[in-house]
Structure 1
Amino acid sequence: MSVDAAPVLRASVVVGDDGLTRCGWAANDSEYRRYHDEEWGTPLHDDQRLFEKLCLEGFQAGLSWITILRRRPAFRAAFANFDVDTVAAYTDADVERLLADESIIRHRGKITATIGNARTTQALGESLAELIWSFAPAPRPAPLRTLAEVPAITPESTALSKALRARGYKFVGPTTMYALMQSSGLVNDHVAGCHLAPAPAA
């Protein structure tokens, strides 16, 4: 998962000082709590915001998600709020500018992938949101019981990864795409006991 639950051993749910029970990974950091409550697992259908999350999940590969969250304002400034047309027009000079920007992750491959992914999105001929959501799995009949049950890869994330790669996207592996599914609400992995856990199916 894009949040850093495994391999650290922690409680599946915790009670915050506001009295709300949350997934255990959201226990100790205010930005994680905000992200947990306002974004993670909330359905997102906006093309631009989904492009942003796709790019940020790619930047997260090999790093902790909290590192990306804390730098998200800087990423938005560096990549024109992830406006697809603007990023697609970035040049080699922009790549060098971004590599010198200490407020973001200075990884040439990830920077050039973001620009390339913008150009691929321009050429899609369909909505990025519709494409991504076409791989949403059926809702689970009941919430997951523990953080240990939260998967890293699913058949749907593998299929989404394959479809995006076939179109030319980079840094969209199955694990990264499952993190995108979590963060954009294609799946609801809030565990049982969390105040945002899905209700069991009738």
Structure 2
Amino acid sequence: MSEQNKCRCAWLDTTKPDYVKYHDEEWGVPLYDDTLLFEFITLESAQAGLSWYTILKKRAGYKKAFANFDVQKVANFTAGDIERLMQDKNIVRNRLKIAATINNAQRFIEIQKEFGSFSHYQWRFVGNKPIINNVNSDEDAPAMSEESKAFAKDLKKRGFKFLGPTTVYAHMQACGMVNDHSNDCFRKEEIIKAFG
């Protein structure tokens, strides 16, 4: 079957090659690498109130602006860095979100120290294995779950910002804690076969 004729999730705008690439290669794939998890936490928190595609188009800008998502470097950003980033048109210039990213980097490191890695911490919320949802249409995919509520509540208690239960659920979808590919999407079975 050609790439074009493959069945994909209904929400995906297949006229956007970068969006298709993200869907086909990243979305829903279980992630355990802390640098990538910090990247997704950063991008998801930046997305609050915006479309994911808006953030996806700015991903390279975020990577450059936030030191290749090096959590140690971001945690040490200063008020001067916030001012610099407020002038960077390659990211969402929202002072609260920029400050939240620096704050979240500091909290992320605290979790790494406590649990050995952020990955160990986050995967506990799904019993260390992906939740596979039965998605026949967009209506079947939840906007949040009991797990995302518990995860978001714990993050908030630890001082994270811009990561409520809906944003956290989007993070869980992105990094494969839940597999919300539709049942007829070719990626659903591929990910299950590769990761269970």
Distance 1:189 1:121 in 2: 26
User: What is the aligned partner in structure 1 of residue 118 from structure 2?
Assistant: 128
2:93 maps to 106
Residues 142, 176 of structure 1: alpha-carbon distance in 2 compared, 3 angstrom cutoff: closer
Which runs of 5 or more residues in structure 2 are unaligned?
none
Mapped contact 1:16–1:22 kept (Cα < 8 A):
no
Aligned to 2:41: 54
Offset, 1:130: 1.0
Farther off after superposition, 26-35 or 151-160: 26-35
The CA deviation at 1:165 is: 1.0
In the alignment of these two chains, the number of paired residues is: 186
* Secondary structure of residue in 2 paired with 1:135: helix
Residue of 130, 152, 163 corresponding to 1:161: 152
Change (3 A) 1:80 1:53: same
Report the secondary structure of 1:110's partner residue: helix
Name the aligned partner's letter for residue 177 of structure 2.
Answer: L
Shift in Å, 1:143: 3.1
Per the alignment, residue 51 of structure 2 pairs with 64
1:150 and 2:141 aligned:
yes
For each residue in 1:111-132, what CA deviation from the matched residue of structure 2 results, as whole angstroms up to 9, or x when unmatched? 0000011111222222111111
Identity of aligned residues (%): 45
* CA–CA distance in structure 2, aligned partners of residues 140 and 157 of structure 1: 12
| Distance verdict in 2 for CA 1:140–1:85, change over 3 Å | closer
Structure 1 unaligned regions, length at least 5: 1-14
Name the TM-score, length of structure 1 as normaliser.
0.86
Q: Distance in 1 between matches of 2:88 and 2:120?
A: 33
Scaled by the length of structure 2, the TM-score of the pair is 0.89
Higher helix fraction (1 or 2): 2
Q: Report whether the alignment pairs 1:194 with 2:185.
A: yes
Contact kept? 2:134, 2:140, Cα under 8 Å: no
Distance (whole Å) between structure 1 residues aligned to residue 159 and residue 141 of structure 2: 29
1:17 shift after superposition = 5.9
Aligned equivalent of 1:119, options 85, 101, 106:
106
Letter aligned with residue 122 of structure 2: I
SS at match of 1:20: coil
Q: Secondary structure at the match of 2:8?
A: strand
Quote the residue 2:167 is aligned against.
176
